[in-house]
Amino acid sequence: MTTPLLEIHGLNKRFSGIVATDNVNLSVAAGQVHAIIGPNGAGKTTLIAQLCGELTPDSGTLTFAGQDMLPLSMAQRARAGLARSFQITSVVMPMTLLENVMLAVQGRSGHSFRFWSPVSRDAELRERALAVLSEIGLDDRADRVAAHVSHGEQRQLEVAMALAMQPRMLLLDEPMAGMGKEESLQMATILKRLQGDKSILLVEHDMDTVFRMADTLSVMVNGHIIATDTVDNIRSNPKVQQAYLGDSHA
């Protein structure tokens, strides 16, 4: 057995008596696509927020590559290799796609973005950012303003910004949210290319994508993970069918 890249034990979070995550235990192996599914309000996004450092759990442990993540800020976790893309797009709309990724590249080194930086530094940032955009298939739109590209391209840009942080694991919170069928297929193709090279923890409502991509599935209901298994075993799990798959495909 290899040591999991990400390990969560007993993670709890409550808001005014409402249980958001309830004693969550989860392990994600290096190179895996591990998907978390469950109905709306199950606590999936709250869990991701605790992993990236946006929220602090009330109790529990979180280690990544053997390092305790709980004392670290969001920026420190990202630089440690744990990068998140958001459920609601968070790109800087007045900036070009290239500038957005350059911002993420420079953020990786812990510095703020400076438009008046030396030309040599600018060229280095530009080259690295263009390479990431090329990996995602957006290099031909590099100089377009983010506000002027489609919603699907904005979500692809967000994945590019996460990749610019040179992560070992991507935390993807509903990367297909708001997309049409064609855009969803394009995003799935991008994620498929990353499979194996990057570990991915994926929260997604698109069951076709989840069942096609995931190595391991966890089902979350009412803040608690009720099952973790292979896709085939999750499909046939009576408890899962009763709690989620048989009742809701939200």
**Is the separation of the CB atoms in 38 and 25 below 8 Å?**
no
CATH number of 1-81+167-250: 3.40.50.300
pLDDT given at position 231: 93
pLDDT band at 250 (very low <50, low <70, confident <90, very high): very low
**pLDDT single digits (tens) 189-216:** 898 889 888 999 999 888 888 988 899 9
| pLDDT-based confidence at residue 248 (cuts at 50, 70, 90) | very low
Asked if the model's pLDDT at residue 44 lies above 70, the reply is yes
Alpha-carbon distance of 196 to 169, in angstroms, equals: 11
How many angstroms separate the CA atoms of 54 and 86, rounded? Answer: 11
Reduced DSSP (H G I as helix, E B as strand, rest coil) percent helix, strand, coil of the chain, to 5? 40, 25, 35
CA distance 250 to 107: 35
SS (H, E, C) 219-249: EEECCEEEEEECHHHHHCCHHHHHHHHCCCC
Helix 151-163 and helix 181-194, axial crossing angle in degrees, nearest 10: 10
pTM for the complete prediction? 0.87
| Distance separating alpha carbons of residues 95 and 61, to the nearest angstrom | 38
Q: 3-class DSSP state for residue 94? A: coil
Per-residue model confidence (pLDDT) at position 88: 53
Domain coordinates of the chain in residue numbers?
A: 1-81+167-250, 91-166
C-beta separation of 219 from 37 below 8 A: yes
Q: What is the dihedral of CA 95, 97, 101, 106, to 10 degrees?
A: -30
Tell me how crowded residue 179 is: count the other CB atoms within 10 A of its CB.
Answer: 20
Q: Which of 50, 90, 61 is nearest to 171 (CA)?
A: 50
Query: What is the pairing mode between strands 216-221 and 199-203?
Result: unpaired
Could you give the CA distance from residue 58 to residue 42 in angstroms, rounded to a whole number? Answer: 17
Instruction: Check if the beta carbon of residue 154 is closer than 8 Å to that of residue 186.
Output: no
- For 212, the enclosing helix (H) or strand (E) is helix 207-213
Could you tell me if 223 and 19 are in contact, meaning their C-beta atoms sit under 8 angstroms apart? yes
Structure-block tokens of residue 77? 């976790």
Q: What pLDDT digit, counting tens, does each position of 70-126 carry?
A: 999 998 898 899 998 865 557 889 999 999 999 888 877 655 555 545 544 578 889
